[in-house]
Chains A and B, each alone.
Chain A
Amino acid sequence: MLEVNGINAGYGRIQVLWDMSVNVGEGEFVALVGANGAGKTTLLKTISGVMRPTSGSITFLGKRIEHANPNQIVNMGLSHIPESRRLFTDMSIRENLEMGAYPGRSWKIRRATMKWVFGLFPRLEERAGQLARTLSGGEQQMLAMGRGLMSRPKLVMVDEPSNGLAPLVVTEVFQILKSLHNEGITILLVEQNVRQTLAVADRAYVIENGHLALEGACRMLAASDHVRKAYLGL
């Protein structure tokens, strides 16, 4: 479904990603794990068109997208839920969700989609008229995820959803990701919470200093010595 092939990317002269290749198959739940600053967020930004790779190719549903703009990519059904939520804080919860349904196709069915999202996140419905800034950290993450689903994506990329949340809320976030996967949505998750990530995802890539270090089924990675020492503190 998504094939990233030999991507090099960075900010100005500072190269962040080196010859990065990642694949996500239809219906898969794939994770990118690694330390802070390893390049995981840069990879998602390059896929969603916020950044341009200096070389390499990205293919989504058979079409090359490495030169496409973010709005074209989300139109194709690839949604990027950015790091640190990036909500429209001066707009209401309902308006934030409506913005998520901006592409023409999903705008027409936004009411039905919103009903589905409210089913996933009941607390958002209770507060639909409130400004997004009035929500707690956990609720803001729910809104960011709900907003990212409003375009009815085929593939969702979620960047650090557990960042800055209380442990109980983190567990809730992972449960929601799991239930989205069960509904048939393909997920590419970036996380620093390696233990819980390896417990829910099918497959994972370990990224270190902008290079691909390891890849494989989560069960295998969780058993590997390198991952246990470097990421699980065992």
Chain B
Amino acid sequence: MVAVRDIIITGLLLGGVFALVSVGLSLEYGVARVLNVAHGEFIMLGAFLTFWLFSSVNLNPLVSILVSGVFIFVIGWFLHSTLFRRLMDSSPSLEVFEGQSMLASFGLLYVVQNIARLIWGSQTHQVLFLSRTVTGAQIPLNRLVSLGVVIVIGGAFYFFLARTRMGKAIRASAQDPTTAGLMGVNIHTVLAICFGLGLAMAGIAGTLISTVYAIQTNMGLQYTVIAMIVVVLGGLGSISGAMIGGVILGIVSQLVTYFQPTMTFIAYYAIFIVLLLVRPKGIMGK
């Protein structure tokens, strides 16, 4: 019984991080139409930024959340305003752009990963932060803090989308970019903000992951795969679907890891295939 409870709690904690990563990808793909294969590389970048600031100036990882969030948002904004915007303007249709932007993001994956390897090498690092367990359940404090951060960011982002002028413009652009333009929305600005926010969420997730797990410069791709599964699981373009899908996958991951750790990724794909058969449009898809 205690085991089940711990599995569910740690599953929720991991699921929160998965949800953050997946909402980020959902913004990049669902709104900005970039199937960003390099998404996980910005998780890695966030993690190593945190590690670097922690090991050199002993910066509290909770402060690093701000640093990696803002820094990686700027990178995302810049990448979209230069690379992806140019591709979009030169593509005759959105379908062509989706193909080209995915290829470009493949290039990005190698560039970011290899720059990181030049700086930090390929060995494993760790940020030791709040790793003592909380009495009662065997749950490390750093994971609880991570979940708290995810909940705060999720709530703030929901408020941003539901209430602010820019948030509404993002939702409108996700549904119909041409008509959003007719309403006066500068579509290029909105897409650059979405791409920047998507990357920032990856970066923040990276900061949180670095406090819980060992990190390596090649850690990114596994998270990209997880995020892609979650985004399809939740329904393409659906932010709430990505949140729900992330939590489900987190719990599944912990359940399977408890009984048979080597089967975790097999379980992800099994769920993915079953869901696609039962509900091809995803949990919240239309």
Any A CB within 8 A of the CB of B145: no
Chain B interface residues toward A at CB < 8 A: 92, 165, 168-169, 171-172, 175-176, 178-187
CA separation between A71 and B146, bound complex, in Å? 40
| CB atoms of B165 and A107 under 8 A apart | yes
| CB atoms of A88 and B176 under 8 A apart | yes
Contact of B168 among A71, A75, A99 (CB under 8 A): A99
| CB atoms of B175 and A99 under 8 A apart | no
The 10 closest A-B pairs by CB, nearest first: A70-B181, A103-B184, A102-B184, A86-B179, A74-B184, A71-B186, A102-B183, A99-B183, A71-B184, A88-B172
Any B CB within 8 A of the CB of A48: yes
Contacts of B180 in A (CB 8 A): 88, 99
Min C-beta distance of A13 to chain B, whole Å: 11
Contacts of A224 in B (CB 8 A): none
Min C-beta distance of A11 to chain B, whole Å: 10
**Tally of chain A residues near chain B (CB < 8 A):** 26
Any B CB within 8 A of the CB of A138: no
| CB atoms of A102 and B175 under 8 A apart | no
Stretch at the interface among A28-36, A57-65, A90-98, A184-192: A90-98
CA separation between A70 and B177, bound complex, in Å? 11
CA separation between A103 and B92, bound complex, in Å? 28
Query: Closest residue of chain B to A151, judged by CB?
Result: B184
Chain A interface residues toward B at CB < 8 A: 12, 48-50, 69-71, 74-75, 79-80, 82, 86, 88-91, 95, 98-100, 102-103, 107, 147, 151
Query: Closest residue of chain B to A81, judged by CB?
Result: B182
Contact of A95 among B168, B182, B185, B187 (CB under 8 A): B168
Contacts of A95 in B (CB 8 A): 168, 171
Contacts of A74 in B (CB 8 A): 182-184
Min C-beta distance of A99 to chain B, whole Å: 5
Contacts of A49 in B (CB 8 A): 181
CA separation between A178 and B252, bound complex, in Å? 61
Task: Given A88-B175, A89-B175, A90-B175, decide whether A80 and B168 contact each other with a Cβ distance below 8 A.
Answer: no
